[in-house]
Amino acid sequence: MRKAKKSKRTNAIKMVFYSVTIFALLITIAVPLLYALGYPISLNTANLVSTVSLSFFLGTVAISWMLHKRIKPENLTGELGLSRDRLTLKNIGYGILIFISYLIITVAISEITQLTHTSINSNAASVLGIFPLWLLPFTMILAPLNEEILFRGFMVPRVGIVISALIFAALHSGYASYLEFFMALWFGLVAGYAFKRTKSLYPSLVTHMLVNSTTVLALVGSGMIAMVHIL
């Protein structure tokens, strides 16, 4: 009786993740297509909605695959390095150290470009465009979580650090910036190594959240992107 009840619960969880994965993929494809066909959707709205849905697809497709491979729902957090025992001050500290390294490298690159009179600017502002207030918690928390689940928690044990970092960097090539690609590749390599060494997703997750938060807040504070309440 208990076994049957547990099996029913597992199947229900599977169906939820399968459904969210399929729905997120459909939204990711459908919204830009509707814009291209001339439906009354602004380019900025189409980009934002497809970005959000793609993020959820990245996170849920990894979990859906793991459930499909008969990993029990109660074991998912452990497999992904998200269990409570992995949330330690040491792992959070690693994440902060990686973030500080990230800042040092970006500042160094900025100084070098100024000294050499070259231009390797980030295109984050032009890609983000008008930034709705509702997107703030998504950018700071949910997007990093979804990406870390797929690229570190799921991919590193299966395809290795280098390949997962290259795919992660390729995902950020939409910024059309060498700087964004290089920093995404650097972060992918360091985050992958941190995950493999600690068996915890929290170091890379902390770094990812800090990078996204400081980037958005800096762009809003400098007036490079406009934040609106409704979009």
Residues 62 and 93 both lie in one domain = no
Can you give the pTM of this predicted structure?
0.90
User: Of the candidates 55, 78, 101, which is a domain's last residue?
Assistant: 78
Mean per-residue pLDDT for 92-111? 93
Position 179 scores a pLDDT of: 78
Total domains in the chain come to: 2
Same domain, 100 and 138: yes
Q: Tell me what the mean pLDDT of segment 74-80 comes to.
A: 95
Both 39 and 109 in one domain: the answer is: no
User: Helices 202-221 and 89-116 meet at what angle, rounded to 10?
Assistant: 40
**Which domain range does residue 74 map to?**
1-78
* Same domain as 125, residue 68: no
Over residues 161-170, the pLDDT tens digits come to: 999 999 999 9
**For residue 134, what pLDDT is reported?**
78
Q: Among the three residues 16, 48, 78, which one is the final residue of a domain in this structure?
A: 78
**Is the same domain home to 128 and 50?**
no
In a shared domain, residues 58 and 97: no
Report the pLDDT value the prediction gives residue 218, as an integer from 0 to 100: 82
Give the rounded percent of residues in the chain with a pLDDT score beyond 90.
63
Residue where a domain stops, chosen among 78, 110, 128: 78
- Taking the C-alpha atoms of residue 145 and residue 55, their distance in angstroms, rounded to an integer, is 9
Instruction: Judge if 27 and 140 occupy the same domain.
Output: no
* Burial classification of residue 166, based on how many CB atoms lie within 10 Å of its CB (0-12 exposed, 13-18 middle, 19 or more buried): middle
Residue 195 has what pLDDT? Answer: 98
Output 136 or 72, whichever has higher pLDDT: 72
Residue 129 has pLDDT above 70, yes or no: no
Query: Are 69 and 136 in a shared domain?
Result: no
For residues 99 and 212, membership in a common domain is answered with yes
pLDDT surpassing 60 at residue 123: no
The most confident of the ranges 1-15, 110-124, 127-141, 207-221 is 207-221
- Say yes or no to pLDDT of 138 above 70: yes
pLDDT of residue 174: 67
- 14-46, pLDDT tens digit by residue? 999 999 999 999 999 999 999 999 888 888 888
Task: Indicate whether 126 and 228 sit together in one domain.
Answer: yes
- Residues 74 and 91 placed together within one structural domain of the fold: no
Confidence of residue 209 (pLDDT cuts 50, 70, 90): very high
Q: What's the pLDDT at 32?
A: 92
User: Do 156 and 70 fall into the same domain?
Assistant: no
